[in-house]
Structure formats: structure tokens, C-alpha cells
Amino acid sequence: MRTTQRISVRDLVEFLLRSGDLDRRQSSGRRDAQAMQAGSRIHRKLQKQMGSDYQAEVTLKYQILLEDIPVSVEGRADGIWTDKRGEEPLIVIDEIKGTYRDLSRMEAPVEVHLAQAKCYAYIYGQQRGQMRMGVRMIYADLETEELRYFEETYTMEELSGWFRDLMAEYGKWVSFESLWQERRAESLKKLIFPFDYREGQKDLAVSVYRTIARKKRLFIQAPTGVGKTLSVLFPALKAMGEGLASRIFYLTARTITRTVAVDALDLLRQQGMELKTVVLTAKEKLCVCEKPECDPDHCPRAKGHFDRINQAVYELWTTGPDACTREVILESAERYKVCPFELSLDLAVWVDTLICDYNYVFDPNVSLKRFFADGVREDYLFLIDEAHNLVERGREMYSVSLEKEAFLQMKRLLRGKREGLTKALDGCNRYLLTLKRECESGFQILPQVGGFELQLQRLSAELDKYLEQPVPEEIREQVMEFYFSVWNFLGICDRLDDNYVIYTDFSEEGHFWLHLFCVRPAENLCQCLDCGTATIFFSATLLPVNYYKDLLTGNLEDYAVYAKSPFDPANRLLLVGTDVSSRYSRRGAPEYERMARYIHETVTVKTGNYLVFAPSYQVMEQVADRCVAYEDMECIRQESGMAEEEREAFLKEFEKERNHSLVGFCVMGGIFSEGIDLTEDRLIGALIIGTGLPQVCREREIVKEYFDKKGMDGFAYAYQYPGMNKVLQAAGRVIRTEADRGMILLMDDRFATISYQRLFPREWEQHAYCQVDSLAGQLQEFWLKY
């Protein structure tokens, strides 16, 4: 017996009955989606007013066979009541929708809303033997509680024909999905690991599988060379083959790691694995227009997009390649003349594995509402690569700021457009003006947002009504950007708790800002992680692991494993320079000269390619300028804001044959600190200046004070741990394969202290100390072995 496929009534009609243009100018659609979730209060109020005979929140289910596959259509009618006003009593289905739209402009119910009610009417009428059914659509203004009704009566014959046609269209999707899942499971059961296991790799894979089977979370500290991607993907796929998961989200912070995951899956497909994957790419990189403007006036694909999109998705899903990369998506979108970005998102619903950036799961403004809007737990697996990046990315995604001057600018821009809108803008501006006057020192922490949130809600409602009509072209972009900044701020207001610090300050330009800063993102991240059954965090740098547990899940009981490096430690020389420092108090010409001498001594002993990582561009330039004076080595530098072509040109320099050493100067934590592979002779050394401490700034100091108040080491949380992570990432560029030989030089005496040595990974247990005068001898001894 095949497994019963379940689908909600809302998902069914929203998927099958969408039509017309793609138009993102009308922000009310996005706002209405939020309103539907936030409208439970108005639902309850209306339901209580209906009387004792009124049935509220009635669960309805209907079983049907589609292509011999059992399908359960499920949902919950907002209300069922009997209308006794006619000659015969009529059972009526109520569908209540909260909205911020101007109800006076509504001429008819939204088609998918009405279809939802008709589904409930058919299911109820079929199960109760009714000859006809009534449908009443109730739209409620969430601000004023004004109501608008639309009523219709259908015969059961009409509803039956309509519902039959609806399900027949859905049948082809269900049929292919069922057959594909059987093929996928069979192929995954036969899957074998494509290589001989490296040391520690099998234990790592077993830990991943056990975590998934137990529906837990696992943190993996896995040094370079362990083969993290395959070690995590392979057991996850085996678990999927055994029915422990329906979908895998492979989440990354960088494009290069997405490519590694794609390559790993392609390798497994060579064994006959059948697995459909989509790689989600940013809208800007997929858009066929110069600028992403998703409306029929600016994009030719937007006109009639929804009339063609389902056909495009079905064709690509059923007959396209199993790996749907950016190129595949663009080709299919061109053939059907649809938006490639929207095509990739719609296809994601049907594939087995999604490879995408963190924000598609975690960012409240970007996340895939198709999977996570309802907050329901499904059997999803989250595989989070380079998980050390998620701390800062999490803080960014769940923090928001508003500028007072933006309200004044918008007031001038919209003067005379709508009286209520002008008043709402003025109310917000006055509130911020009060906060500005109280911020005498230029910085103030607030206990709460206070009445500003209410003012902002009024403004948001007024903006919704203003945006019901097309906005003049010359101001549209500014208005929409402002609208979404307000909408985003209100979204974060709903999340405020003791993980946040609310503060005001002034920018360098003198503008006044109100900030909601998420210091500890764990709780917000977990709201997303709880939509799945298991999560694997993995990185070459997750030390100390309790720091990452605290900030990413908040649960110190989560599993953790430390994978042993498969590489011979004798192939690497790790030195700590004890007579040099990057401390601010010691920065100056003498220290920069010493750093330059360290570099020259290193590259003179062994000719080859080296990377020097500096704590800032300023330090990098000071040291690099002094190294240029040495004529027996060539220096290249990372530039701020390098384009992709410039990055590639920088890395290609490490492939050229030379008679002298090449030294690439980079910034720690930058584009060349992680995610690049310069194997064997392409890179034989990394010299790291300083401990990587982030620059002192307001938010770093807020983090420090926040954790100090909780009795924890605020300096470590704000500065030391993030800094050491950058050091470890930079050092990890050297030994990438078993054939690699190289040296790492830590140029700062602080690395010789206990507070830093306790942060060294296990594979750094073998290290030595040096000074600039003894460096050459120690290097010669190491390189003589090779």
C-alpha cells in the first residue's frame, strides 16, 4: 500500500489556481500573508459573535485516489452555520480573511480565497449528503475591524465538477512524486561511500547518521582534509533512503562551498543515485533585466508569469536534469518566458535537496515561506556548512535599524498624497525626536521600544492603503524601500526578548538611529531549526564548541564531535613569534619593520608561494610597503571591494612558475581567508599577523557588556573567539591534501599565552616558538626534510 500523500486545502488552491502577472509592486500581497497569520484575534472575535449554533474551526478531511495514490486533502473551515432565511435551510461555510487592504476597493473575493471555501463546501456537503452549499467570504480590516461580505450558493453538482477538475490537475503531480520517491529510496539504499574512508571519516559519518536517527543536533569540528562535505552528505542521504527524512537543506555562506556540495552529489550520481537537487541563486544573479523589478511594466517575463510557471516547473522537475544549477534554471526560464528566480523557488518545493545560502532558511525577509511559514515540524534535515559564519550572519538577519531622517524625507516626498499617511509619518518622527533629545551622550540603551511600535503600526497600515494604487514611477523605489524598512522593523519588534539590546545613536553624518540589535541569535535560529528533525553544524573552526552551541542553539547538551585530522603533523611546521605583536600600543615603524623582516626571512629560506594575513588594510599596507624594498620576492595585495575577475586574477598568480617567492598580502576574515584551495606547491606557507581581534566598535562593546552582565567572559565572546576563528581559517589555507607541505607562522606574542593556547585545535599541539633571529634556522631544519 502506497503512503498517503497529504496536502492542505490552502496549499492546493494557491498552487493550482494561481494565474496572471508577477507584480511585486503591490506590497499588500506580502502584507496580507502576514495579516493571515496575525488575524487570529479577529477570527476569534467574529466567531464568538455568531451565536451558540455556530461551529468554529471545523477540521475537514477528504480521501481521494489519484492515479492509484491515496491523497488526503485537509483543512479547517473558519466557520459552519445554517442559514434559515430562505425557504429551505442552507448550510454555509465561512472563510474569514484579515487584511490591511482598503475594503471599499474590493469588488469580488480573491479567487484562491474563494476556492479554499469551495473546497470546504464540497468536502462537507459530500460527507453530509447535501444538495447545495453556501459560501460566505468575510474580509476584516485588521486596523478598523470593518467587515466586507461576499456570499454565493452552489449546487453539489457544480461543486463536484469543479473539485473533480481541480484534483485531476493535481493528480499528475502526485503520480510523478510518488514514483520518484520510490526510485529515490531504492537508489539511496544501494549507495556506497565512493572512496576508502580516511582516518576518522567513518566515525564522523556514523555520528551524523546517529544524530539524524535520534532527531538531534550535532556540532562537528573537522579539520581540513577530513572530507567534511561527503562525510555529512553521505549518511544524510542514507537516512533519507530509509525514510528518516523527506528533504535535505544544504546551507552555505559562500558560493564556493555550494559548488563543493554540487560536485559531491554529482560524484554519488555516478553510482546510479537518483536525487533531484536545485541550487538557489540570488535574484540579482538570475534576473534577465539590468535591475530586478518584478512587474509587467519593467520585466517582459512578469506578464502572464503565473499562467506559464506551473508548466515550466513540471517539465523541469519531471524531464530536466537531476541537478538544477543556475545554468539549467536560466535555460528553462528562457524557454517558458518566466522569472528564473521564481522558477527556482517553485521547483524547490518538489526536489529532494536544496543547496542554498543560510538566508533561505533563517532570514525572516528571505526565508522559503513554502516550507517554514506555518512553523510546523517536518522531517527536514539541515546540513550547515561553515557553521562558524552563522553567528554573525544570524545577528545581521535578526537585527534592524531605522533612521529618523528617513521619516522626514518620506514626509516631504508624500506631502499631500494622503492625510492619514502624513499624520502617521509625523507621529513617528516626533517620537524619534523625543528619543534624539534624550540621547545626550550620543548613545543610549533603551529598556523597550515603547509607544514607537504602535506609531509604526499605524504608519504601516497607512502605507498599505496608499500602495493599493500604483505609485508614481519617480518615487516608487524610494517608497517601497521605506515601506519594507518599516515592515522589517515591526517584524523584529515581535521577536524582542532578553536576547536583544535596544539602543539609539548618531551616525558619522549626524543622523539619528534606533537599533534593535540581536546579540544572541540562538532562539531565533532555533525557531527555524525546529521546523526540521535534525541539524548538523560543521566547520573546520568551531572552537570553543560551547561558544557556538550557546549562540546557535542555546543548548549545551547538543552533541559534538571532534574529527581527527588525517594528515601527518610532521608535514606542517607551526611557529609562534614571541618578539612581535600587533597590539595597538606597539604598532609603529619598528614593529612593521620587524614583521617585514619575519616575512623576508621566511620566503628566503624556501622559495615558493606564501600568504600573509593582516588584521586590517592599514596594517597590511604598512607591512607590504616595507616588503617591496626586498628585491628577491614579489608582492601582490588584496584590494578592497575586489570584483570576481580581480579575485580570480589574484589567485592565478599562485599558479605561475617563478624563480623567486611570491607573497600575497590579504586581510584576515576577508575573501581569501576561507573557501580557497591552493594545494601542493601553489601555497607553502601562511604568515598571520595578530590575533584577529575585531575592531572595537559600539556593537562589539554591547556584546561584551551583555555577556559580562550574565557572568560570562564578555571579552572572549565579543573579541577573542571571533578573532581566533579568523586565525584558524587563515591557517587552514596551507595543508589541504596529503601531498601538501607547509609552514604557519603566528606573529604575535599573545599566542604564547595560556588564554590563546587553550583555543588551539588538537592538531596544533605540536608547535614551537621563535624570534626573528632564530627563525631561519628553524625553517631550514623543517624544509631540509623535503
Give the pLDDT confidence of 507-542 residue by residue, as tens digits: 999 999 999 999 999 999 999 999 999 999 999 999
How many CA atoms within 13 Å lie on the side-chain side of 606?
Answer: 25
Give the pLDDT confidence of 462-489 residue by residue, as tens digits: 998 888 788 888 898 899 899 999 999 9
Q: What is the mean pLDDT of the chain?
A: 92
Residue 659's pLDDT is: 92
Q: What phi-psi label fits residue 416: left (phi over 0), alpha (psi between -120 and 50 degrees) or beta?
A: left
With 90 as the cut, is the pLDDT of residue 674 above it? Answer: no
Query: How far is 544 from 108, CA to CA, in rounded Å?
Result: 59
Confidence of residue 29 (pLDDT cuts 50, 70, 90): very low
Query: How far is 631 from 622, CA to CA, in rounded Å?
Result: 17
Residue 411's pLDDT is: 93
Can you give the pTM of this predicted structure?
0.91
Give the pLDDT confidence of 269-309 residue by residue, as tens digits: 999 999 999 999 999 999 988 888 888 888 999 999 999 99
Decide: 237 and 273 in contact? Cβ < 8 Å.
yes
Confidence of residue 1 (pLDDT cuts 50, 70, 90): low
**How much is the average pLDDT of 494-499?**
96
Decide: 72 and 12 in contact? Cβ < 8 Å.
no
Phi, psi for residue 720 in degrees, rounded to 5: -65, -50
Cell of residue 57, nine digits: 474551526
Residue ranges of alpha helices (H) inside 83-146 are 111-128
**How much is the average pLDDT of 207-230?**
94
Decide: 317 and 351 in contact? Cβ < 8 Å.
yes
Ordered by where they begin, the domains of the chain are 5-173 (3.90.320.10), 194-395+522-562 (3.40.50.300), 400-518 (1.10.275), 569-783 (3.40.50.300)
- Measure CA 143 to chain center: 32
Give the pLDDT confidence of 105-123 residue by residue, as tens digits: 889 999 999 999 999 999 9
Decide: 515 and 401 in contact? Cβ < 8 Å.
yes
Q: In the chain, helix, strand, coil percent, each to 5?
A: 45, 20, 35
**How much is the average pLDDT of 74-93?**
92
With 60 as the cut, is the pLDDT of residue 566 above it? Answer: yes
150 or 736: which leads in pLDDT: 150
Residue 28's pLDDT is: 42
Cell of residue 271, nine digits: 553510482
CA distances from 429 to 402, 404, 405, 408, 426 (A): 11, 6, 8, 7, 5
